Chains A and B, each alone.
Chain A
Amino acid sequence: MAHERDLDIDDAALDLILAGARADAPLPSAALLARIEADAARLQPAPPPRAEPRRSWLAGLGALAGRLALPAGLVAAGLTGLWIGLSAGTGADFNGASVYDSAFGLQMIYEFPALAGLLPEG
Chain B
Amino acid sequence: MKADSARGTSSEDAALLAAYAAGDPQAARTLMLRIAPRIHALAVRMLGDRAEAEDVTQEAMLRLWKIAPDWRDMGAAPATWTYRVAANLCTDRLRRRRRQAPLEPEMEPEDDRPGNEARMQGAARARALQAALAELPERQRLAVILRHLEGRPNPEIAEILEISVEAVESLTARGKRTLAKALAKHREALGLIDGT
Q: Taking beta carbons and an 8 Å cutoff, which residues of A are in contact with B?
A: 4-11, 13-14, 17-18, 20-22, 24-29, 32-33, 35-37, 39-41, 43-48
A43 closest partner in B (C-beta): B65
A19, B66: Cα distance in complex, Å: 35
Answer whether residue B193 sits at the interface, using C-beta atoms and an 8 A cutoff. Answer: yes
Cβ 8 A contact of A27, one of B40, B129, B179, B193 = B40
Also in contact, A44 and B25, with CB within 8 A (given A28-B40, A39-B58): yes
Cβ 8 A contact of B65, one of A5, A33, A39, A46 = A39
A44, B24: Cα distance in complex, Å: 9
A36→B32 contact, CB < 8 A? yes
B184→A40 contact, CB < 8 A? no
B129→A17 contact, CB < 8 A? yes
Question: How many B residues touch the partner, as a band?
Answer: 35 or more
Q: B-side binding surface: helix, strand, loop or mixed?
A: helix
A4 / chain B contacts, CB cutoff of 8 Å: 187, 193
Answer whether residue B45 sits at the interface, using C-beta atoms and an 8 A cutoff. Answer: yes
B27 → chain A closest CB, angstroms? 9
A52, B41: Cα distance in complex, Å: 47
Cβ 8 A contact of B125, one of A11, A17, A37 = A17
B122→A24 contact, CB < 8 A? yes
A8→B184 contact, CB < 8 A? yes
A44→B180 contact, CB < 8 A? no
Also in contact, A47 and B23, with CB within 8 A (given A6-B184, A25-B149, A40-B28): yes
Answer whether residue B95 sits at the interface, using C-beta atoms and an 8 A cutoff. Answer: no
A5→B29 contact, CB < 8 A? no
B33 / chain A contacts, CB cutoff of 8 Å: 33
A64 → chain B closest CB, angstroms? 36
